[in-house]
A and B are shown apart, each in its own frame.
Chain A
Amino acid sequence: MEKRLIKKDVLAGIVGKIAGDVNLVAPVKEEDNVLFELVKDGVTALSSYRNTKNAPKAFFFPRSETLMRYTRKEKGYEFTGLGEDVSGQTVIFGVRPCDARSFVILDLLFDQDKYKDPYYIEKRANTTVVAVGCTKPPYSTCFCTSVDGSPMSTEGADVFLTDLGESYLAEFLTDKGEKLLKYFGDAKADAGAEKKKEEIAQAAAKEIKKTIPAHEIKAWLDANFEHPFWETVHKKCLACGTCTFMCPTCHCFDIQDEVKAADGKRIRNWDSCMFPLFTRETSGHNPRTSQKERWRQRFMHKFRYYVDMFGPIACVGCGRCVMSCPVNIDIRKIAEDISKL
C-alpha cells in the first residue's frame, strides 16, 4: 500500500486539480447546511466540516434516476435507450468512515450474483472514494463503534486521509485509489506518521461515548416479531419518511413512468417503508396496516433481516436519523429499550 504525507495547506490545491480532471463530489456549504454536491466552478470544497446533512449514497443511487427511455410508435411504445450516461469518472472527496462503510453494505444488495443492478454498479465502478477519518468524532449522536465501524475505519475507502495536525497521512488502499497518487506528491509517509495515526485512531474511538447493543438484540428480534413493545415504538411517528431519506443504507425505491407527448421515461425514485402506500396492494389489502408494522419493518430490516440476508447490520451509526427526526424518535433508544426487555 502506498502512503503519502501532505502538508495541510496543499490539500485544497490537490482537490482543485482533481476537480479539473474528473467529476468531483465534495462537501460544500449550502446555506446553513453542509451537503455533498458536484463541485462546479466557483464553489469551494470544504476541508473542515463535521459531516454532511445528506448521505453520499445519492451519487450511486440517486433520489430520482431514469432507468430507460421510450417513444410512442404506431403499435405502442418502444424502448429507445437507457437513462443518463454515467460513464464519466468521479471522485467523492471527504466521505466520513461511516458513510464509506454504507457503500460496502449497499454493494451486497445491488451487486448480488444473480441480479445485478447495472445503474448502481456502473457508477460505483467509476467512482473513487476518498474518505477522511474522524480524528474528532463530530457529533454526540455518533455510534459507529456499536455497528462494526469506527471513526477511523477504512472500509469502503479507496484513499483514506488522516489529519495528523500539521499534515495529512494519505493511504492509497485500492487500485482505484492508487490512480490518484499523482495528485498527492512524493513525500512518503514515515513510521512516525503511522504511529501517530494509530494513537489518533485509538483516542477517536474512545471519543464515541454512545454505544448501543446492536448485535445483542438480534436474538430478541428473531423471537419477538409479535411483542407488546412494538405497540410503543411508533406512537409519535408522523410517517414523514425523513429517517429513511437521510439514511446512508436505506435503499427502497419505487418505479414510475412519465410521459410527455410521444416520449416517456421510466424512473426510479427513493421510496420509504414508512409510507402506507409502500405495501398497499391494488385490492386494498395492506400487509402493514399501521405505523406499528412499518416501524417494526424498518427496525427489523436493519438489525435482523439484513443480517440474515447479507451479514452486516444495515446501519452505520451516522446518527442522521436521530438528528433529523422531527419528533425525536431515537433508533439508539429503541435498541437499548429492547435490550432491557
Chain B
Amino acid sequence: MQNPYVPIPVVVDKIITEVDTKDIKTFRLAFQNKQDEENFKYIPGQFAELSVFGKGESPIGIASSPTQKGYIEFTVQRAGLVTSFLHEMEEGTHMGVRGPLGNSWPIEFLEGKNIVVVGGGFAFTTLRSLINYMIHGDNRKRFGNITVIYGARNPGLLIYKDELKEWEKRDDLNINVTVDKGDDTWKGREGFVPAVCREVAPSSDNAVAVICGPPIMIRFTLPVFFDLKFSKENIITSLEMRMKCGIGKCGRCNVGHKYVCKDGPVFSLAELDKLTKEY
C-alpha cells in the first residue's frame, strides 16, 4: 500500500528571489530519485505539501508547468514556521514534497476555448503554470486566444518578471501587466486589476475566465466579468484553506461536504454557489 504521508525526497536546485521585499521566493526542486520524477505526474492547478522535517508541511501550488522537465517549482511567501524555514534554506538542501494533490485547472474544459487569465499579487503561481502549459508548442493549438491580466501593488512586487518580459514578446498571447502605483522607472500600465479587466474587456464568447487573487481583488473583479456576460460555469478560481493531510482525512479544509485539498482547490463559481459560504 502506498503511504500518502511519506514525502518524496527532493533537493533544492535553485532559489530565485522574486520581489524587492525579498519575502517571496521561487524554489526549484529536483527529485533525488529518477523514478519519483517519472511518477510525479501533475496538471496545472494542483498543489503539493512542501515538507521540512523538524518544522512540518505547507500546502503550496505548483508554479512550474508539467511541460518543464526535470524539476518542479514552488513560489512561496514567507509567513509561518515552514515557509520561514524555506526562506532560510540554501541551494543543495534536502527536503520533501508530498503530491501532486488536489484537482487541477479543468484543462479538457478549457480546450478549444478563449482563455482569460486574471491574477493579482502573489496569487499568480498556478496561473503561471497554466499559462506556460498552454503556450507550450505541443499545446498552444489546443486553446483559442489567451489573454492575461496580471497586477501587483507596485513594480517591485510583480513575480516572474523575466518571464513576463518574454511573454510580452509573443504574438500568440495578449498580456496586460499592471501595477496599482508605478515608480520612476515603470513605463507600463497603472491601475487596479478590476479596472484593467474592464478596459481590456475580453469577450465572453466561447471564453473562460480563470481568476486568482486576494479576496479584495476577486470581490471587485467578478462584477466586471458578470457585466461582460461570463457565466458562473465559465469563471474558475482556486481556494485556499488551512490544510494538514492534503488527502481529505484530517478534517479541517472542508467547505460543506467538499474538501478543498481533495475535491478542490479549483472550483467554478457555479460550483461554489452550491457550497456553504465558509472559506
Contacts and interface: CB of A to CB of B under 8 A. Distances in A.
Interface of A: 67-68, 70, 72-73, 75-79, 82, 109-110, 112, 114-119, 121-122, 225-226, 251-257, 259, 264, 266, 268, 271, 273, 278-283, 287-288, 293, 297, 300-301, 304-306, 308-309
B3 interface: yes
Contacts, number: 130
B203 interface: no
10 contacts: A68-B6, A75-B94, A116-B1, A119-B5, A225-B256, A257-B56, A278-B242, A279-B242, A287-B255, A300-B256
B94 A78 contact: yes
Contacts of A259: 53-54
B53 A77 contact: yes
Contacts of A112: 248
A288 B278 contact: yes
Interface in B232-252: 240-242, 244-245, 247-252
A79 B53 contact: yes
Contacts of A76: 52-53, 93-95
B100 to A, nearest CB: 13
A43 to B, nearest CB: 33
Interface of B: 1-7, 9, 11, 52-57, 79-80, 83, 92-96, 240-242, 244-245, 247-257, 262, 276-279
Contacts of B7: 79
A255 B244 contact: yes
Contacts of A77: 52-54, 94
7 pairs of A and B residues whose beta carbons are closest in the complex: A77-B53, A252-B251, A76-B94, A115-B247, A308-B257, A282-B80, A305-B257
Nearest to B1: A118
Contacts of B255: 287
Nearest to B244: A255
Nearest to B55: A257
Contacts of A282: 79-80, 83, 242
A138 to B, nearest CB: 29
A116 B278 contact: no
B147 to A, nearest CB: 29
A122 to B, nearest CB: 8
A266 B53 contact: yes
A225 B249 contact: no
B158 to A, nearest CB: 21
Contacts of A70: 53-54
Nearest to B8: A79
Given A75-B11, A117-B4, A257-B55, 15 more contacts: A68-B5, A79-B6, A79-B9, A109-B249, A116-B4, A121-B1, A252-B250, A254-B244, A257-B53, A264-B53, A273-B252, A281-B241, A282-B242, A293-B278, A300-B276
A116 B83 CA distance: 28
Contacts of A271: 250-252
Nearest to A115: B247
Given A254-B244, A282-B80, A304-B257, A115 B54 contact: no
Nearest to A116: B1
A309 B240 CA distance: 21
A281 B83 CA distance: 13
B50 to A, nearest CB: 13
Contacts of A252: 250-252
Contacts of B279: 287
Contact of B245 (A82, A255, A300): A255
Contact of A253 (B4, B53, B242, B245): B245
A307 to B, nearest CB: 8
Contacts of A300: 256, 276
B98 to A, nearest CB: 11
**Residue of B11, B53, B253 with most partner-chain A CB within 10 A:** B53
Contacts of A304: 257
A75 B242 contact: no
A277 to B, nearest CB: 9
Contacts of B55: 257
B96 to A, nearest CB: 7
A281 B239 CA distance: 13
Contacts of A122: 1
A114 B261 CA distance: 13
